[in-house]
Amino acid sequence: MPKALREIYGEVLRDVGRENKDIVVLDADLSGSTKSAIFGKEFPERFFNMGIAEANMVSTAAGLAAGGKIPFVNTFTVFLTTIGLIATRGLVCYGNLNVKFGGAYGGVSAAYDGASHHALEDIANMRALPNMLVICTCDENSTRQATEFAVKHNGPVYLRLSRETFPDLYQAGESAFEFGKAKIVRDGTDCTIMGCGIMVHHALQAADILAGKGISARVVDMSTIKPIDRDMIERCIVETGAIVSAEEHNIIGGLGSAIAEAMATMDVHAPMEFVGTEDTFTESGKYADLLKKYKLDPETIAAKAEKAVSRKK
Amino acid sequence: MNKLRLTEERIAQLTDKARLFRIDVLKSVHQVQSGHPGGSLSMTEILTVLYLEKLHINVNDPTDRDVDHVVLSKGHGSPMLYRLLAEVGYFPKEELMNLRHINALLQGHPTNHIPGVDMPSGPLGSAFGAAQGLALAQRLDGLDRRTYAILGDGEINEGAVWEVAMSASKFKLDNLIAILDYNKVQLDGTNDEIMPLGDVPEKWRQFGWNVIECDGHDIVDVNRALDEAIAAKGKPNMIVAHTVKGKGVSYMEGKAAWHGKAIPDDLMKVAMDELGGEM
Ligand SMILES: Cc1ncc(C[n+]2csc(CCOP(=O)(O)OP(=O)(O)O)c2C)c(N)n1
């Protein structure tokens, strides 16, 4: 039975906390939801519930990091990457401090809570900060390995998580996450769909739809959004000639933007289409219904892929 | 504005309305298996007296500036706000049974696309400053109107709340009436467990506010507190309403676990029995 990404993350925090006594965890009155409470239960002396005070939480984490600790800050990512942003930019990133950001409830996964709680600009906010690494994984094993990477890396890391349970993509023991390296999870020759998070799974379904139409789609898991894997982008442009980005995020400033920025400075180019929310606020609803209504579904990815292929010269 | 003492008959009427509002709100969060029962129930009497006794509003003309404003800064209490907005005629109360549905009117947290909502809220701490802005606008327009802001006790963990505590005092914003739904419980636990608040009334007094305490479940006492705040001059007002999270449903009372938990059918039945409602 696959587990929710937040659950896996909470368990990894506890596991790495057993090995490394410098790991400290902070939350802003949402530890039951972010699952940081799993760590807090075992290590109450290294767990700080800051109350509903995200700015204070990130500033405190900056100080803990300067004091040699490895703080993980946690809350709904829509608040972490907005209310927490001033300290993230001005202290953590400017100071290149060793703070890790657990972004629970990425995308529209806070479904019924509505637009106020959906995080669709977080990747843009975090990606634009010098020194910040941005990671968005798609299953249990990749989340586990990305969280372990965050502990080892010295510097700020943003892990974009989800409230939801995603299907397994990688087997246990397999290398499911390599920092800075995208992974081809299905090969194809006519176009490449580059996705992150839940959209990797939707891209695989889109590839099935496209196969039925005689289009061979490659699917790439772009779990590291920053720094973006330029070599993989270049290779896919050359080998497939069309690119589609797919993310549970505004099409402005996220994964698609990162890919397009990279391609613009390459000697090879390909037609590109973007799948994501189209610069709009969302609404309350069931997660699956929201993914459909806001065009984050396999059908939309397939349609955009067809369009990208049709634009080839 | 009604400064007359409430008659026994009116008290009985409002008391019964509050009971019916609790029933409707629980039904609205039960049907979608999502939403926040605890913090909706704790402010039932506050919103009942505010909307049905005190507010000067114009349901038919959203451009009318000569009205009182309400900002539900603790936006997750939206189901009870929506029930009152339906009661005063902004939309049919049947809309509550579509709460949080896709393509429906009533969002998980308030937005100003919803008739009767003056300000979006949901990110705790942020909307309180907007209430200050609305109150300043009323004063600039020379209106004898007020802006009410309803805050949660967990919400006042946010530093932004204390920025308003200073600025509204500087501006002597006596048409701003904040109401703290002081149920002593937030999300992960009680205030004392998560973020001890100390002497809440005294803190606001020290920030220069006119502080009034009341029993937030006693219609008469809430009415008195609002009258005092409306009459007061020279300082912003903070009504510290002592309440119980989940008030009215025995198994929810005082429990953080019922902050935002879906109500299963068997417990819904218990709640309806206790409140005299039907499933
Ligand atoms: C900025 C921000 N951080 C976190 C949350 C998530 N959250 C929603 S309600 C809540 C607890 C609120 O407690 P309190 O203010 O006491 O509300 P009440 O008990 O009256 O329901 C939290 C942490 C939020 N909505 N906004």
Quote the radius of gyration of chain A (alpha carbons, Å). Answer: 19
Residue B72 pLDDT > 90, yes or no? yes
Q: Which residues of B touch A57 (CB under 8 A)?
A: none
Domain CATH code at residue A262: 3.40.50.920
**Has residue A171 been placed in a domain?**
no
Last residue of a domain, one of A160, A193, A211: A160
- Catalogue all structural domains in chain B, each as residue range(s) with its CATH number: 9-275 (3.40.50.970)
| Most ligand 1 atoms within 8 A of CB, residue of B25, B36, B44, B76 to mutate | B76
Ligand 1 atom closest to the CA of B155, numbered from 1: 15
Dist CA B136 CA B143 (whole Å)? 10
Q: Of B34, B120, B122, which is closest to A112 when you measure between CB atoms?
A: B34
A116 touches chain B (CB under 8 A): yes
A133 three-state secondary structure? strand
Give the Cβ contact number of residue B208 at 10 Å: 15
* Spatial CB neighbours of B206, under 8 Å, sequence gap ≥ 6: none
Ligand 1 atom closest to the CA of A116, numbered from 1: 25
Q: What is the pLDDT of residues A235-291, one digit of tens each?
A: 999 999 999 999 999 999 999 999 999 999 999 999 999 999 999 999 999 999 999
Residue spans of alpha helices (H) in B207-260: 219-231
Tokens 């009372």 locate to: B253
Domain identity same for A68 and A210: no
| Most ligand 1 atoms within 8 A of CB, residue of B25, B121, B187, B253 to mutate | B187
* Spatial CB neighbours of B222, under 8 Å, sequence gap ≥ 6: B45, B46, B49, B50, B214, B215, B216, B241
**Has residue A173 been placed in a domain?**
no
Domain identity same for A123 and A208: no
The whole-model pTM stands at 0.97
Domain identity same for A129 and A187: no
Lookup: tokens for B87: 């009661």
**Has residue A165 been placed in a domain?**
no
Instruction: Provide ipTM, 2 decimals.
Output: 0.96
Domain identity same for A255 and A153: no
Ligand 1 atom closest to the CA of B187, numbered from 1: 11
Domain identity same for A132 and A204: no
Domain encompassing residue A39 = 5-160
Tokens 């009341």 locate to: B214
Total number of domains in chain A: 2
**Has residue A176 been placed in a domain?**
no
Pick the residue whose CA is nearest to atom 25 on ligand 1: B123
pLDDT band at B3 (very low <50, low <70, confident <90, very high): low
**Residues at CB less than 6 angstroms from ligand 1:** A 28-30, 52, 79, 83; B 38-39, 42, 74, 76, 122-125, 152-155, 181, 183, 185-187, 245, 259
**Phi-psi category of residue A99: left, alpha or beta, with phi > 0 → left and psi -120 to 50 → alpha:** beta
Average pLDDT estimate for A292-301? 98
Q: Do B123 and A52 touch (CB under 8 A)?
A: no
**Has residue A236 been placed in a domain?**
yes
Domain identity same for A116 and A149: yes
Domain identity same for A270 and A151: no
Please, what is the average pLDDT of chain B? 97
Q: What is the pLDDT of residues B210-265, one digit of tens each?
A: 999 999 999 999 999 999 999 999 999 999 999 999 999 999 999 999 999 999 99
Please, what is the average pLDDT of chain A? 97
Q: What is the pLDDT of residues A40-86, one digit of tens each?
A: 999 999 999 999 999 999 999 999 999 999 999 999 999 999 999 99
Dist CA B146 CA B135 (whole Å)? 6
Tokens 């039925």 locate to: A212
Dist CA B142 CA A158 (whole Å)? 49
Q: What angle in degrees, to the nearest 10, is found between the helix axes of A230-240 and A255-264?
A: 80
Domain identity same for A272 and A203: yes
**Has residue A90 been placed in a domain?**
yes
Pick the residue whose CA is nearest to atom 22 on ligand 1: B187
Q: How remote is the C-alpha of A302 from its chain's centroid?
A: 21
Q: Do A79 and B122 touch (CB under 8 A)?
A: no
Lookup: tokens for B217: 């479940």
Could you give the percent of chain B with pLDDT greater than 70? 99
